[in-house]
Amino acid sequence: MIEIKCIVAVVERGKADKVVESAKKAGANGATIFYGRGTGESEVKKFLSIHVEASKEIILILTEVDKYKNIMKAMVEAGELKKPGTGIIFTVPVNNLIGLHHREEFED
């Protein structure tokens, strides 16, 4: 069975296309982008004295575990995610994946 990770990145509005393009060049097969709104903006500004835009783009990428580090590295660089207030990125394990025809079939 192939081990899969989901890369989740929350970036500033308008940056997702650039981040996804870099992820694809690093080996990602595709991505899902959707919009969100953060709720902690005023608390962050109050304590860290930095501006954080409430509107966000959320990127989801499913990838094999042996590819995720290169993809994440490319996404961090493209989104400048090491700079304060630019976004976050993390992974979660994926279990019971159904619906991608090129993956192994789910077994009961």
pLDDT digits (tens, 9 = 90+) for 46-87: 555 555 567 899 999 999 999 999 999 999 999 999 998 899
Amino acid at 83: K
Q: How high is the mean pLDDT of the chain?
A: 85
Task: Please give the DSSP secondary-structure letter assigned to residue 93.
Answer: E
- Look at domain 4-94 and name its CATH class: alpha beta
Cα separation, 67 vs 64, whole angstroms: 6
Share of the chain above pLDDT 70, in %: 78
Which residue would you say has higher pLDDT here, 90 or 107? 90
- pLDDT at site 48: 57
- Specify the 3-state DSSP secondary structure of 37: strand
- pLDDT at site 108: 45
Residue 79's Cβ-count burial label (10 Å; 0-12, 13-18, 19+) is buried
- Specify the 3-state DSSP secondary structure of 89: strand
Residue ranges covered by each domain of the chain:
4-94
Cα separation, 20 vs 14, whole angstroms: 11
pTM over 0.85: no
Share of the chain above pLDDT 90, in %: 63
Cα separation, 41 vs 47, whole angstroms: 10
Which residue would you say has higher pLDDT here, 103 or 79? 79
Measured between alpha carbons, how far is residue 55 from residues 12, 15, 32, 37, 72 in Å?
A: 7, 11, 17, 5, 22
- pLDDT at site 37: 82
Calculate mean pLDDT across residues 39-52. 58
